[in-house]
């Protein structure tokens, strides 16, 4: 075999050897990349689990806080320690019917996972700085744990019903005294409609400061009563003509 031929054979062998070496390196790199990819996937899975656990712990804390506050306020209303309270079972149905006509006509029929504006309003009153997601979690928890009547009754006794003499008025029983100097059972339908308007409107609104606006808000609530068949349209038309009959605010 000539020197040229030997040189060619060695060259071919050298090229084949280099290709074999390259293929071995590529296979080795592929094998080494598999554990790295698996390690990356494992880290992502662990992070997701940690996020889920943290979310569950936080949600549990929110549920606990909302339940504690709700239970405390229910007990206070039962004992009358907030000054005045109403029991819906012994109160005219016009109040809950008008309140729901104005706020949430589907309050009793909606699923527990559907956050009622009534429950959400309570939660925002308890925890005014809570995010929208936190409010939903706490509202749903209350709707699962308590009856709709208990929630509505707590709303009636806890909600801010406008302002009087620069102070917020808490609850419908207190509002009847603050704005009409009457017990709640003495109020007329148009009076209750005004209180519902104050409870569902801006919390800092004092009807004494703007009677015309207060009258408009009251009449809007009365019209909602007609739409939800709480009252007939003829009854509403008559009630809309009545004056506010507010008493002078006490200093």
84-104 pLDDT, tens digit per residue, is 789 888 888 999 999 999 999
Buried b / exposed e over 148-168, threshold 16 CB at 10 Å, is: beebbbbbbbbbbbbbbeeee
Pick 160-251's CATH classification: 3.40.50.180, 2.40.30.10, 1.10.3810.10, 3.40.50.1370: 1.10.3810.10
Dmax over CA atoms of the chain, in Å, equals: 126
pLDDT for res 169: 94
Residues in the chain: 251
What pTM, to 2 d.p., does this model score? 0.74
The per-residue pLDDT for 187 is: 95
| pLDDT value at residue 50 | 66
The 3-class SS string of 179-240 reads HHCCCHHHCCHHHHHHHHHHHHCCCCCCCCCCHHHHHHHHHHHHHHHHHCCCCCHHHHHHHH
Task: Tell me the per-residue pLDDT of 200-251, one tens digit each, with 9 for 90 and over.
Answer: 998 899 999 999 999 999 999 999 999 999 999 999 999 999 999 898 766 6
């Amino acid at each position: 075999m000539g020197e040229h031929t030997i040189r060619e054979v060695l060259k071919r062998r050298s090229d084949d050897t280099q290709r074999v070496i390259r293929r071995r390196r590529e296979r080795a790199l592929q094998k080494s990349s598999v554990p790295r990819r698996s390690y990356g996937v494992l880290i992502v899975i662990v992070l997701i689990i940690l996020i889920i656990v943290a979310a569950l712990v936080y949600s549990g804390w929110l549920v606990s806080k909302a339940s504690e506050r709700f239970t405390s306020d229910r007990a206070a209303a039962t004992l009358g320690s907030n000054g005045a309270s109403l029991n819906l079972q012994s109160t005219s149905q016009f109040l809950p019917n008008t309140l729901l006509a104005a706020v949430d006509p589907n309050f009793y029929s909606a699923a527990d996972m559907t956050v009622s504006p009534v429950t959400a309003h309570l939660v925002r009153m308890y925890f005014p700085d809570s995010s929208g997601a936190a409010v939903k979690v706490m509202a749903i928890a209350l709707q699962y744990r308590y009856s709709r009547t208990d929630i509505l009754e707590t709303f009636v006794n806890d909600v801010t019903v406008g302002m009087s003499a620069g102070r917020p008025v808490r609850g419908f029983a207190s509002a009847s005294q603050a704005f009409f100097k009457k017990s709640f059972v003495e109020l007329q339908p148009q009076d209750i409609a005004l209180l519902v308007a104050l409870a569902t409107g801006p919390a800092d609104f004092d009807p004494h400061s703007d009677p015309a606006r207060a009258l408009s808000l009251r009449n809007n609530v009365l019209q909602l009563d007609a739409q939800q068949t709480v009252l007939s349209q003829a009854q509403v038309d008559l009630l809309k003509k009545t004056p506010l009959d507010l008493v002078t605010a006490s200093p």
